[in-house]
Amino acid sequence: MQFTATQIAFMINGKVEGNADVAVASFGKIEEAVAGQLSFLANPKYEEYIYTTGASIVIVNDTLELKQKVNASLIRVPDAYSAFAALLSKYQEILSQQMVGIQEPSYISKTAKLGEKIFVGAFAYIGEQVVIGNHVKIYPQVFLGDNVKVDDNCTLLPGVRIYHDCVIGKNVTIHAGSVIGSDGFGFAPQADGSFKKVPQMGNVVIEDNVEIGSNATIDRATIGSTIIRSGAKLDNLIQVAHNVEVGQNTVIAAQAGVSGSTKIGSNVMIGGQAGIVGHIQIADGSKINAQSGVSKSIKIPNSAVTGSPAFDYTSALRSQAISRKLPDLEKRILELENLIRQLLGEKV
């Protein structure tokens, strides 16, 4: 597909500067782009490339002041990065609209209810009483267990597994290999030292506008629901245990783990490889630094913590600054001790 500068400017509410009829058919990084490609400039560190890029069209900020002539047509917008992201989303939407129909071989239960204009890839499995909304994209080898509900405009990438009774809201994207609704880690210790499995009878509820990365695992609740609230974004390789609640617009980076029954508030930011123990609460707006180990509740909203065990971020930075000075402090203490001995007439 080709788009002219005029068409692109219309889609992102920009203003064309240069040849409005030039067309592009693909995207490229500003330092590597060639003719026929569209790029963007948002970071001032890359400004030098605006004068040498081979891109036919470049999206730039309104505030950019050119120091010399450029060959590309420019589309000026208030925020080049956001405009480029919006354009990519629209482009992806156009491509996805072309994917409609059911590929073979695939298994779809006769009791399943399918919405309009859906896509089902080869080797997908759709179980009993499954309900699928409109404009849903189900890629090859996706498994939907019995009684699963998937609402409108969802995208399930290859190899996604959604176990029985789980509920997926509107506009949800789940990337390849993720498992939704596997059993929670529930085992009761016995008198003989063995462990007896506790049946996991609940489900997982994922609300609207959530995105979940590749190879993430969200366990079903023992009783009730594990809940991912609307707007949350989970990176790749994340573990969310049984009965956890993740609040609205919370973001969790890769390799983080959340233990069972923990309640995470809204607008929380959790760094990569952070670990959170079970049965605690994380207040709204909290920020948890990468590789932190959170062992108790964070009760004050908008707090920032780091370390393992995690504690106040500012205090942690002060401690780190002091620890770097310890060798010098030790030297000074020894000098003071020697001075005291001299004043007392002792031999040094």
- CB neighbour list of residue 208: distance below 8 Å, 6 or more residues apart: 151, 169, 170, 171, 172, 230, 231
State yes or no: is 242 an active-site residue.
yes
The C-alpha atoms of residue 205 and residue 264 are separated, in whole angstroms, by: 15
**Of 135, 164, 175, 242, catalytic:** 242
Scored b (16 or more CB within 10 A) or e, 187-209 reads eeeeeeeeeeeeebebbbbbbbb
SS3 348: coil
Where in 165-273 does DSSP place strands (E)? 167-168, 173-174, 179-182, 187-189, 195-197, 203-206, 211-212, 217-219, 225-228, 233-234, 239-240, 245-246, 251-252, 257-258, 263-264, 269-270
The tokens describing 94, both together, are 């156009």
- CB neighbour list of residue 333: distance below 8 Å, 6 or more residues apart: none
The tokens describing 329, both together, are 């402090």
The C-alpha atoms of residue 72 and residue 142 are separated, in whole angstroms, by: 43
- In the chain, DSSP finds a helix count (H) and a strand count (E) of 4, 40
Which helix H or strand E contains 281, and what residues bound it? strand 281-282
> Residue 54 corresponds to which amino acid?
G
SS3 10: helix
The C-alpha atoms of residue 158 and residue 64 are separated, in whole angstroms, by: 41
Q: Which residues are catalytic?
A: 242
